[in-house]
A and B are shown apart, each in its own frame.
Chain A
């Protein structure tokens, strides 16, 4: 069937609410407003205010309440409007959600799912546009997911809700309108492994979430010039599926990492370091990274575009690697 990423996210929520009466949705504007990105449109009418719960603008309280509700036997799906706002709840996410299992010696599971948008590209300026999922991927105890396809938008929530540990789902804001074909019976997806989205032999391009499309577009351009790029979608940012990345590098011997985070201390730095640690002698060229410019994301369209990883930047990086 023809659908959009937004509708796939909504179907995933509807399905979760239908399948398990312990599941409820909580966040800012998820109910009466219809979801700040219209993801939860119609769910309030369908499931009622008890299970589609509008919250005050109190990120720390409602994320922490999600932790408590998870401890109390429910399966909360908490929505934070953007990753920038999640910083108001960072204490609860890091000091409690990620930590309680270990600090209690294995007694307290926190089966909580937090969804939030991330990323730039909509001229929303610095406080609504950052890509901080790499920061969250730094934290032991969390599982970090970045659905980049319709299948993953539809299926990752399902799998995440089976997980006894806290799972954060980062949905890139520019993807909601993406449309395409999705199987009628699309179901849960693997959240342990990265996926090869485009096989190739000459260079490995690693991407995730909002940068997957950029990488695939760049691979099309490269194919036109005789360079066969393999595109890997990380899908899960923590724990990283390095065997898939290393396997690809062992075939192509060249690596480009595309990351909408800032370069310094980023997820791209982690991937580059691990490939250098574990597969340095597989490499025929220096590792290339295409990241966001080290600035708060600006409003003006031309500046925002200049700050973000672009198709041409990926093409140029791959061409340098291939030499």
Chain B
């Protein structure tokens, strides 16, 4: 990649990387919509468009040894974590070259080598797993953080409260990242929660909690860096309420009757990608060529992923019952 001006300072490099991640996630998902319409991708598919600042900002704060637990809206998390785009797309194509060998699909991306633990389609289901991963790290005295990403819908589940209590009680190194896009499927937060200040609710467990403008990638990165530093210092869990918005429907099947077009348009004006580009232009000497280079890189990565996915073999049907139990006991 060549981004000559922006490569000038370490700060500019980091910001450019945030933009690069957001653009590749955005362009990847836009292409996924086309591939879904063309019936290359099937099943439920939940898009992250509008929320990319969270994936880019939170995951840059982690080391390779840290763990990530995600939800069914996780394409962006997987890509930002370094799961190869080839493997992600091949999974959505149901190929054996997919990151879950075609058994998971869009909602269940896994990559053990990158400590990426899914891809959980039960709302709130990943919270106990993240708590346990953090428990293991603490008991083994590893300086590791587990980031747990989940939506605002999960806050209504009992597991949210059980796990925040447990993580706070045992001072576990877990970063709870609530992606508050204000809708649990089609139900607005205010129509399903008696108290809508989620950071406040998390703080009632004694967990340091911050609301973050998650349409601003720099604000997300800054909050995540602070939280991870605090957790590595032994403070126990932190909670980020990442206030965001999804520009697309809940899933490809959603007719989106529950919110006004004007509301969506308002949030699109806060799009984190142009917003970061503007900052980079104003403060880091970023140019049109720099943007074009990032766009071109994303396009070529996606084109290569599509070619690879189409060429990927299908898992043999004879292997249907593999991986129900371990092959080595």
Contacts and interface: CB of A to CB of B under 8 A. Distances in A.
Real binding pair: yes
A68 B133 contact: yes
A91 B131 contact: no
B132 A68 contact: yes
A102 B139 contact: no
Q: Tell which of A74, A101, A104 has the most Cβ of chain B within 10 Å.
A: A104
Given A102-B103, A105-B102, A67 B129 contact: yes
Interface in A99-125: 100-109
Contacts of B122: 91, 95-96
Contacts of A163: 326, 329
Contacts of A165: 325-326, 329
Contact of A74 (B100, B136, B146, B169): B136
Interface stretch (B32-40, B106-114, B294-302): B106-114
A107 B111 contact: yes
Interface residues of A, number: 42
Contacts of A106: 101, 322-323, 327
Contact of A61 (B162, B326, B329): B162
Interface in B169-218: 169
A88 to B, nearest CB: 8
Interface in A24-81: 24, 50, 55-56, 58, 60-74, 76
A164 B326 CA distance: 6
Nearest to A109: B326
Interface in B20-39: none
A264 interface: no
A95 B328 CA distance: 22
A68 B104 contact: no
Contacts of B127: 61, 64
A72 B162 contact: no
A68 B110 contact: no
Given A65-B128, A68-B136, A71-B133, A103 B159 contact: no
A163 B328 CA distance: 9
A72 B166 contact: no
Contacts of B134: 68
Contacts of A62: 128, 166
A92 interface: yes
A67 B128 contact: yes
A63 B132 CA distance: 9
B150 interface: no
A208 B110 CA distance: 38
Contact of A105 (B110, B130, B158): B110
Interface in A157-214: 162-165
Contacts of B135: 65, 68-69, 72, 74
Contacts of A155: none
Contacts of A68: 69, 117, 128-136, 146
Contacts of B219: none
A72 B104 contact: no
Contacts of B132: 64-72, 76
Contacts of B137: 72
A24 B139 contact: yes
Contacts of B324: 101-102, 140-141
B61 interface: no
Q: Tell which of B67, B108, B328 has the most Cβ of chain A within 10 Å.
A: B108
Interface in B249-264: none
A101 to B, nearest CB: 5
A107 B166 contact: no
B110 A64 contact: no
Contacts of A66: 132
B112 A72 contact: no
A64 B117 CA distance: 13
B120 A96 contact: yes
A74 B323 contact: no
A96 B130 CA distance: 12
A111 to B, nearest CB: 9
Contact of A104 (B104, B128, B169, B325): B104
B163 interface: yes
Nearest to A112: B132
Contact of B323 (A24, A92, A102): A102
Given A69-B135, A74-B139, A165-B325, 17 more contacts: A50-B139, A58-B165, A64-B125, A64-B128, A64-B132, A70-B132, A72-B132, A72-B133, A72-B140, A74-B140, A105-B100, A105-B101, A105-B102, A105-B110, A105-B323, A106-B101, A107-B110
13 contacts: A65-B135, A65-B163, A69-B135, A69-B136, A73-B140, A76-B132, A96-B122, A103-B104, A103-B110, A104-B108, A106-B327, A108-B117, A109-B326
Complex A-B, nearest 9 residue pairs according to Cβ-Cβ distance, in ascending order: A64-B128, A68-B132, A72-B136, A105-B101, A61-B162, A65-B132, A58-B162, A104-B110, A107-B112
